[in-house]
Amino acid sequence: MNVREKTCLIIRKGPDFLVGTILYSTDLRWSISPWDAWGTRSREQAEKVARVTGGTLWLFNPVLGQLRRAVWIRS
């Protein structure tokens, strides 16, 4: 198992992390724990959700418990 492959993008807004939508509703569910957060390895998908929710992108590795802001350098 490659631990680096477990890293995913999650959405953070203030102190909370996006978990998903509430069933049969358009309301969003948030959690204070990054382990509960919805995650994806698709940058495009994560950026789209972050724009809609007004959140920011964070990199999270649940195996190591590492969390850091996602930053891309444009060249």
In percent, how much of the chain has pLDDT > 90? 80
The residues, any chain, with a CB within 8 Å of residue 14's CB and separated by 6 or more, are none
Q: What is the pTM of this model?
A: 0.90
pLDDT band at 56 (very low <50, low <70, confident <90, very high): very high
The residue-averaged pLDDT of 48-64 equals: 96
pLDDT band at 26 (very low <50, low <70, confident <90, very high): confident
More confident residue, 25 or 56: 56
CB 18 within 8 A of CB 11: yes
> What is the structure's pLDDT at 59?
97
